[in-house]
Each structure stands twice: as structure tokens, then as C-alpha cells.
Amino acid sequence: MTLPELKHFGYTVDDWQTWEGRWELINRIAHDMRPAPSPEHQRIRFQLQMAIHNVIGAVREKSGGRGCEVLSAPIDLFIPGEQSVYQPDLVVVCDPAKITPRGIEGIPDLVVEILSPSTSGKDVTRKRWTYEAAGIPEYLIVDPGEQVGLLLRLEAGRYQEAARVEWGAMVALLGNRLLVTLG
């Protein structure tokens, strides 16, 4: 099988592994990751990745080499117990055992999605619900069009709005351990 038939529901990770191109498999439903993100989307992702990377590096130096790692798309995220494969824009993992040759296997500490016209509905609904149910501690949704970010933090098993951040403002991530500028 080269490409899934999009009307078919019930795909597995085994099916997903046979497909060409970039696909997300969310709750057993195939989602085509085309078209590629816009140049502006990629700039924002790169700037945010570098900001997080730089802060993580400083924390790692202070802690004797231990710390978190930030990875960017395309990276496969496998949440235990699901027949799903996610492709978040950025993911921060503080447990190196979760980073495997296949991708991220387990619950990351932070997921960042940068909204695009083709993915925004999925990012603010399906992924939010799934990340919340999986127990991902923080989910940052960045909206380039509105020039704002929404940080959701897991509290008592539910996402609560921890911060609404305007472009150019600072946002505290990973339980307030990292401070980075948005936009």
C-alpha cells in the first residue's frame, strides 16, 4: 500500500509504516501532512526551537549535563497504548529513554504546534484532546495569524489556560523552568 484511502477508518501503526510521504495517524484516521509548512511557519518553528534549545543548554550546563532536548518536525511521536503517530512541530523531552531510533516513544514534557490553515482545526481540537488524555504536561499552540500563543498546562487531568502570550512577549515553559520569547 502506497497511500491510504482517506475514507477508510481504522488504520494501524503497521499500516502507517507502509505509506509514502508524511502522514499523521490520529485515533486510527490518516491525515496527509501536505502541503509543506509555509516559509513563515518554518521561520517561527526554527526561532522557537533555537530559543528553547539555548535555554535548555544553559540549564544543562548548570545541572552537570543532565536536561531536556528539543526536537522539531518531522519527528514521530508514539503515545503508549494508541494506534496513532503524531508529527508535532516541536517536542521537548526530558527523559532520554523516550528518544529512540523510531522517534519519541512515550509522553513528552511539552508539545508545540504552530497553526497552519491546513492543520489548525486538527491542532486545536483532536490533538488538544489527545494530548490532554495522554497526560502531556504542557501544550503550546502558536497562532502566527493572530500573533499569539496559548499555553495549556495539565492540572488535575485537564488542560487549563496557563498563559495567553502576545508576539514578542516571554512565556514560561516546563512548569516555569524555561523562559523564552514568542514570535
Q: Residue 105 sits in which domain range?
A: 37-181
User: Residue 139 above 90 pLDDT?
Assistant: yes
Q: How far is CA 30 from CA 3, 15, 36, 87, in A?
A: 10, 10, 16, 12
Instruction: Average the pLDDT over 125-150 and give the result.
Output: 92
Phi then psi for 128, rounded to 5 degrees?
-60, -50
- Stretch (H or E) spanning 104: strand 103-105
Mean pLDDT (the chain, rounded): 86
In a domain, 6, yes or no: no
Q: Is residue 9 part of a domain?
A: no
163, part of any domain: yes
Whether 18 is in a domain gets the answer no
What are the tens digits of pLDDT across the range 44-66? 999 999 999 988 876 666 555 56
Q: If residue 31 lies in a helix (H) or strand (E), which one and from where to where?
A: strand 29-32
SS3 label, residue 145: coil
Q: Which of 78-92, 114-128, 160-174 has the lowest mean pLDDT?
A: 114-128
Q: Is residue 112's pLDDT more than 70? A: yes
Decide if pLDDT at 131 tops 90.
Answer: yes
The yes-or-no verdict on residue 1 having pLDDT over 80 is no
**pLDDT value at position 44?**
93
- On whether residue 115 sits in a domain, the answer given is yes
Could you tell me the pTM of the whole model? Answer: 0.87
3-class SS at 111?
strand
Residue 118 φ/ψ, nearest 5 degrees? -80, -15
Q: Is residue 59 part of a domain?
A: yes
Residue 143 is inside which H or E element, if any? strand 138-143
Q: Does any domain span residue 57?
A: yes
Here the cell at position 144 is 502566527
Q: What is the CATH number of the domain that holds 163?
A: 3.90.1570.10
Number of domains in the chain: 1
Across the range 62-86, mean pLDDT stands at 84
Is 86 among the domain residues?
Answer: yes
